[in-house]
Structure 1
């Protein structure tokens, strides 16, 4: 996704990842691939989301859509299932 965004003319693409359960090995792999680990404790990574963000969330266990809606309106939200965002819609 980052490569596609760069090719489309985006000035800069920042790759950020957040999960309080990351192991040290997972962090190392992500960092070697250009990711910055954010919000290791709590939900600090959500503060990084703005109107130009693309959010990819796999296996979410939090009310992601509701949290993000209170902070910003990202360009795209990609999840693993529709029910992960709001199963009442």
Structure 2
């Protein structure tokens, strides 16, 4: 199943949320983000929208990319202090 999620992420199939972080745009799926993060789940429950756009002002693009990769694959390719900071 994780391969399917990873494929959805890479091909941007059926995306329903856009995230802006560190000057970059990321396309994602509300369901994946909600299952992996109570923070995102709460955002989507409090602000129902068919395709929300989230502005993550204090998040660097490489942190967001690493977090999304982890959410979709369940794997961390390289542990770093910056990535662990995002997980907090």
Q: TM-score range by the shorter chain?
A: under 0.3
Bigger fraction of residues in helix: 2
TM-score in terms of structure 2 length: 0.22
What TM-score results when the alignment is normalised by the length of structure 1? Answer: 0.22
Structure number with greater CO (CA < 8 Å, separation at least 6) is: 2
